[in-house]
């Protein structure tokens, strides 16, 4: 998705939804969507019991610049063009120390989970990320979050994860992007380009373990 465009999709149940960049006027839609997340979904998204979105959380969720911080939302489409209830949001925040990498988070209201919307939003997010030079995504995921693990595996079958502080830390290629080797894949240094490739991989390897406690989940 270009960061200023919209797209229309059908979910598995045949209903129609529209994806578009999240904007400041979506505040009440996002708050309403939050009310349709179960306690489990909230925990999986925010990593703590989250009975409500505080003003500071809302401020962060809408602190978007379309370049380093971008969110795409999905809403029901009524009568072919009218935007209805908010159904989900996927977002990225570029890492300050690794400009081609962004941390992602996604949430879908419970009654629509399993209908393909998480996949749709992640592909839209990936298109926007590619437009802004982001080639790798990282994500904190609870170890028992099977839908999210399956979604990441669909996006990048070579995604890898390691355990950190009781969570899984995933590192995977943005779909459709030409990416540097992942930070955990050993780089063989035998060819003419290997010096450069090895240097990049070494840089990422040094940066990733020291990522600040998560731009979304754990803060």
Ligand X SMILES: CC(C)(COP(=O)(O)OP(=O)(O)OC[C@H]1O[C@@H](n2cnc3c(N)ncnc32)[C@H](O)[C@@H]1OP(=O)(O)O)[C@@H](O)C(=O)NCCC(=O)NCCS
Question: Residues in the site for ligand X, rule: CB under 6 A?
Answer: 41, 44-45, 105-108, 113-119, 139, 141, 145-148, 150-151, 154
Q: How far is the CB of 97 from ligand X (least distance, A)?
A: 21
Residue with Cβ nearer ligand X (29 or 201): 29
Instruction: Residue 169: name the closest of 101, 91, 68, 75 by CA.
Output: 101
Q: How far apart are CA 215 and CA 63, in angstroms?
A: 12
Length of the chain counted residue by residue = 219
Residue with Cβ nearer ligand X (135 or 145): 145
Residue with Cβ nearer ligand X (115 or 181): 115
> Phi first, then psi: what are they for 92, rounded to 5°?
-130, 150
Strand partners, 141: 168
Q: How far is the CB of 6 from ligand X (least distance, A)?
A: 19
Give the CB-nearest residue to ligand X.
Answer: 118
Q: How far is the CB of 121 from ligand X (least distance, A)?
A: 8
- Can you point out the beta strands (E) in the chain? 7-10, 16-21, 69-78, 82-95, 98-108, 136-141, 160-164, 167-173
Q: How far is the CB of 66 from ligand X (least distance, A)?
A: 21
Residue with Cβ nearer ligand X (115 or 182): 115
Q: How far is the CB of 92 from ligand X (least distance, A)?
A: 11
Residue with Cβ nearer ligand X (40 or 202): 40
Phi and psi based region of residue 79 (left: phi greater than 0; alpha: psi -120 to 50; beta: remaining): left
């Amino acid at each position: 998705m270009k960061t200023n465009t919209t797209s229309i999709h059908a979910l598995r149940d045949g209903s129609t939804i529209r994806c578009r960049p999240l904007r400041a006027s979506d505040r009440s839609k996002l708050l309403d969507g939050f009310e349709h997340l179960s306690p489990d979904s909230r925990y999986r998204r925010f990593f703590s019991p989250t009975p409500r979105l505080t003003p500071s959380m809302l401020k962060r969720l809408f602190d978007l610049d379309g370049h380093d911080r971008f969110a795409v939302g999905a809403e029901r489409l009524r009568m072919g063009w009218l935007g209805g209830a908010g159904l989900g949001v996927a977002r990225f925040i570029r890492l300050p120390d690794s400009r081609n990498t962004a941390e992602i988070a996604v949430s879908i209201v419970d009654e629509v989970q399993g209908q393909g919307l998480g996949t749709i939003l992640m592909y839209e997010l990936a298109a926007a990320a590619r437009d802004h030079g982001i080639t790798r995504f990282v994500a904190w995921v609870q170890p028992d979050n099977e839908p999210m693990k399956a979604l990441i595996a669909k996006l990048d079958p070579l995604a890898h994860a390691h355990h950190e502080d009781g969570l899984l830390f995933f590192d995977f290629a943005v779909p459709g992007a030409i990416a540097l080797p992942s930070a955990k894949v050993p780089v063989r240094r035998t060819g003419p380009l290997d010096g450069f490739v090895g240097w990049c991989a070494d840089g990422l390897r040094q940066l990733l373990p020291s990522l600040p406690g998560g731009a979304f989940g754990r803060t």
